[in-house]
Copies of this chain bind each other. A is one copy, B any other.
């Protein structure tokens, strides 16, 4: 045993992160353990510590992948919407965010699980990944409202708001709408609630 494989440091890093991705995809972030990764890639858990200093840092790298994927999806939607009215573009972007949160739920949840606030500040590349998630909205606002001097801050406000609505809604931390025009049980009805909220938010925001 103790057979030294032909994996460069970079290949091993890729192997580990890829395995981590699969684990989260099939079992959620709570199943992401050093031993489970080791089992998947045919290494012993300790090997991971040759590449990553801790599981927390590894998690941060997975999160960076999630953010990158999200940024890509948002970027595509943004491009495709070019030429359509502002409000439609914003709602389309928000919809893309919701779709991502639902499709990649375990990864999306992992972005907010655990408190990696301190850690993030030591890993500067992470800030760039965040930046790129916010960028598509900023781009739209720049294109559609070229004379707005506070585009950047506005984009942060609107994006954070959409996130807040989506997060509380998707994690069940939002009180149910009392209105009866939604069947509370049906998931289509539930999604309609989100849709109305975001549409209204964007509408209000565009009016200003």
**Interface residue A36 (Cβ < 8 Å from any Cβ of B):** no
Given contacts A153-B179, A197-B156, are A172 and B112 in contact (CB under 8 A)?
A: no
Let me know if A28 and B115 touch, CB within 8 A.
yes
Let me know if B200 and A204 touch, CB within 8 A.
no
Bound: A18/B21 CA distance, A:
39
**Interface residue A47 (Cβ < 8 Å from any Cβ of B):** no
Bound: A28/B28 CA distance, A:
24
Let me know if B175 and A131 touch, CB within 8 A.
yes
**Interface residue A41 (Cβ < 8 Å from any Cβ of B):** no
Bound: A114/B30 CA distance, A:
9
- B contact residues around A112 at 8 Å (CB): 112, 171
Expressed in whole angstroms, the minimum distance between the Cβ of A54 and any Cβ of chain B is 14
Expressed in whole angstroms, the minimum distance between the Cβ of A201 and any Cβ of chain B is 5
Contact bitstring A135-175, B, C-beta under 8 A = 1, else 0: 00000000000000010111011001111110111011111
**Interface residue A188 (Cβ < 8 Å from any Cβ of B):** no
Let me know if A154 and B200 touch, CB within 8 A.
yes
Let me know if B156 and A164 touch, CB within 8 A.
no
Bound: A204/B153 CA distance, A:
13
Residues in A lying within 8 Å of B, measured CB to CB: 28-30, 109, 111-115, 117, 120-121, 127, 130-131, 134, 150, 152-154, 156-157, 160-165, 167-169, 171-179, 196-197, 200-201, 203-205, 207-208
